[in-house]
A and B are shown apart, each in its own frame.
Chain A
């Protein structure tokens, strides 16, 4: 290719995960390139979250390999690294945005501290600089700075979600995993958040893997799509192609089931 780099950022091959006799996900392989956003869609129970947990270093797959292009060593199998190396990766190069912001925020400390904490974890020590960076990021996610010293539990769902996103992006990760990032939010807040995510992804050249059951969200922020059903990827392709000309019976069913407003 003339554009982009020559190595994928993340390479997943032959990944399966079983919960005893039950299949979580089965035989998933794909590459994610720098600057690319991939969506994973499918109904509840299709294996989206299992897949996301396996590729984000949170749950070792039963079989298969997840390789990430580290800054120093190139592609490395994340489950063959030491626990310390993997945790470092999760704190620096990766972000994880949970559907429920309570799972991704520290609810007992202020908004500012939620961001400062991530910075300190990667070695920032200067209080003034940490505060400035936190301010800057809260501004980017359109967060009211007067609330910086308040606890997340006093914020609305949309504010909590924006705070969680800022907390994740402040360390300049190269890859962000998102699990239903707009899931529990009302539609006007969703639109605002999606717009923000689109902008951040474009401006920062982020790569992301976004799990969602909302095809409109997928169309807005992803370039490629994987459709999952019963643990298997039944169709992959360019997002607009999969949504406008779905090939697999299940993808066709998904697309045709969207209510038009």
Chain B
């Protein structure tokens, strides 16, 4: 692994140190957008850290940096993967993929629709990637879709034409179908009605009770208050003076 160094205590499963991220827009006069500066956090098993702050504060960017979707400029993002600490900032793409496959789940705000793939297979895909046999993966996907009240008549259809709320539930089902020890949730309840919001809260609570750690963005105050064990307040960065 690319990272072997101080491993604080085994129960810490994610720790971020002095993370910084800026975008350099080369084709727009090399404009620089600074989105994260000196961000640090630690997560233990059972923690739900809620990122709090107005839009533009860098909440989604932080999740994306942790997932390796955005490239961090400096600092460390260490995730305990199969018992070993892996620094996502320094890891090779292959290591990042391995961490994503087994350790780190990410539910984005919107479902990235794959043309022609049936809902049930969209949800089963993470399990198939882990090597689970197709039938079993579909059974697990079905259980999750039932829980999130996605009607069975939709399962064979591709989600492209579904409503926003239906797509979001498919996306959540896909994120929760696998047993990731760490989950990153980017506003998973934004388009849901009260019943489904309750179901998502229950899903997250079960994950936490089972020992997972969650970093989430929830604009709904009620959801935030019920799930958060910790808060990280974030504010948009001002131009350096």
Contacts and interface: CB of A to CB of B under 8 A. Distances in A.
Interface string B118-131: 00000001001100
B52 interface: no
A29 B51 CA distance: 40
Given A220-B114, A241-B71, A1 B25 contact: no
Contacts of B128: 202
Contacts of A240: 69
Contact of B129 (A202, A238, A249): A202
B69 A241 contact: yes
A224 B93 contact: yes
Interface residues of B, number: 26
Interface string A236-255: 11101100110111001100
A1 B93 CA distance: 12
B98 A3 contact: yes
B93 A223 contact: yes
A253 B102 CA distance: 34
A238 B97 contact: yes
Band of interface residues on A: 20 to 34
A194 B96 contact: no
B115 A194 contact: yes
A157 to B, nearest CB: 18
For A194, A236, A248, which residue has the most chain B Cβ atoms within 10 angstroms?
Answer: A194
B12 to A, nearest CB: 20
A96 interface: no
Interface in A215-261: 220, 223-224, 236-238, 240-241, 244-245, 247-249, 252-253, 256
Nearest to B61: A245
Contact of B102 (A3, A33, A224): A3
A14 B26 CA distance: 28
B23 A245 contact: yes
Interface in B24-71: 24-27, 64, 68-71
13 contacts: A1-B94, A2-B82, A4-B98, A36-B94, A192-B116, A236-B93, A237-B93, A238-B96, A241-B68, A241-B70, A244-B69, A245-B64, A248-B26
